[in-house]
Amino acid sequence: MDQHRVTITFTLNGKSVTMDVPGAMNALTLIRERLKLKGTKEGCGIGECGACTILVEGRAVNACLMLAAQLDGRDVQTVEGLAHEEGLSLLQESFVKHHAVQCGFCTPGLLMSAKALLAENPCPDKAAIAQAISGNICRCTGYQQIFDSIRHATGAPTGEEKT
């Protein structure tokens, strides 16, 4: 099928990337199939599950609902960009420490939604966390250990006692 192609340049996990992509390709396909970053998952393809959540200009978005072309000129972060040379980020450490990971398929998306939240609100209460991750379905944990992980991820004093 003939497709219009576009050349896009964007920052991916801190590095500049230039690519030629079909106009109809979505950002998830670009990330998984072209860039081979498999941490971002496809759970539904229609923006209902949040497993493909990435950060674009710091905002959590469903990569399956965004065109690859829309990434042009933007800063993009995926789960692979969270850890640094010295090791895991505070948020990742907290997910591990508070046992927020079971099957792990929703984990990358949840981490990205949580990162976007903490950038805006470093001391979120449970309601703010619940709101921020409401687009990320987790079928394993019941979310409670995820709430705990996010609340304890910044090292900042928390508003509530740990349950």
Partner 1 sequence: MDKAYRTIGKSILRTDAVDKVKGLAAFSADIDLSSPPLVLKVFRSGIPHAKIIKIHTEKALAIEGVLRVFTAKDIPGKNLLGIINKDQPLLAADKVRSAADAVALVAAETEEAALKALDAISVEYEKLPAVFSPEDAMAADAPLIHPKGNQLAARFVKKGDVEAIFQQCASVIERTYRTSMVEHNYLEPDAGIGYLDVDGTLVIYASTQNPHYDHKEIVTLLGVPDDKVRIIQATTGGGFGSKLDLNTQGFIGLALYHLKRAVRCVYTREEAYLATAKRHPLTIHMKTGADATGRLRALRAKIICDTGAYGSYGIAVMSRAAVHATGPYAFEAIDVESLCIYTNNPFCGAMRGFGTPQIAFAHESQIDLHAEDLKIDPLQIRLLNALRPGSETATGQVLTHSVGISQCIEAIRPYYESAISQWATAEHHPYKKRGIGVGAMWYGIGNTGVQNPSTARVEMDLSGAVTLYTGCADIGQGSTTILTQILAETLGLSPEQINVVAADTQFTTNAGATSASRQTYISGNAVKDAADKLSDVLRTEAVNKLRVSKKSLVFADGCVAVATNHEKCVDLASLAKRIHAKGAPLVWQGYFDPETVPLSPTDGQGIPYGTYAFACQMAQVVVDVLTGEITVERIVAAHDVGKAIHPENVKGQICGGTAMGIGFALMEEFKPGETKSMKDYVLPTSMDMPEVIPIIIESHEPSGPFGAKGVGEPALIPTAPAILNAISRALNQRIYTLPANLERVLDASIQSGHFAGRKK
**Of 73 and 119, CB closest to partner 1:** 119
Residue 77 sits in the site that holds partner 1 (CB under 8 A): no
Residue 139 sits in the site that holds partner 1 (CB under 8 A): yes
Distance (Å, rounded) from C-alpha 6 to C-alpha 56? 19
Q: Is the separation of the CB atoms in 84 and 92 below 8 Å?
A: no
Q: Exactly one of 90, 96, 119, 156 binds partner 1 (CB under 8 A); which one?
A: 96
Closest distance to partner 1 from the beta carbon of 71 (Å) = 18
Number of residues that bind partner 1 (CB under 8 A): 54
Residue 128 sits in the site that holds partner 1 (CB under 8 A): no
Closest distance to partner 1 from the beta carbon of 122 (Å) = 19
Distance (Å, rounded) from C-alpha 153 to C-alpha 131? 17
Backbone angles phi, psi at 134, to 5 degrees: -65, -20
Closest distance to partner 1 from the beta carbon of 148 (Å) = 10
Which residues, numbered 4-63, are part of the site for partner 1 (CB under 8 A)?
Answer: 36-46, 48-49, 51
Closest distance to partner 1 from the beta carbon of 69 (Å) = 19
Distance (Å, rounded) from C-alpha 28 to C-alpha 109? 12
Give the list of residues 6+ apart from residue 34 with CB closer than 8 angstroms, or none: 19, 21, 25
Give the list of residues 6+ apart from residue 9 with CB closer than 8 angstroms, or none: 16, 17, 18, 19, 72, 73
Residue 158 sits in the site that holds partner 1 (CB under 8 A): no
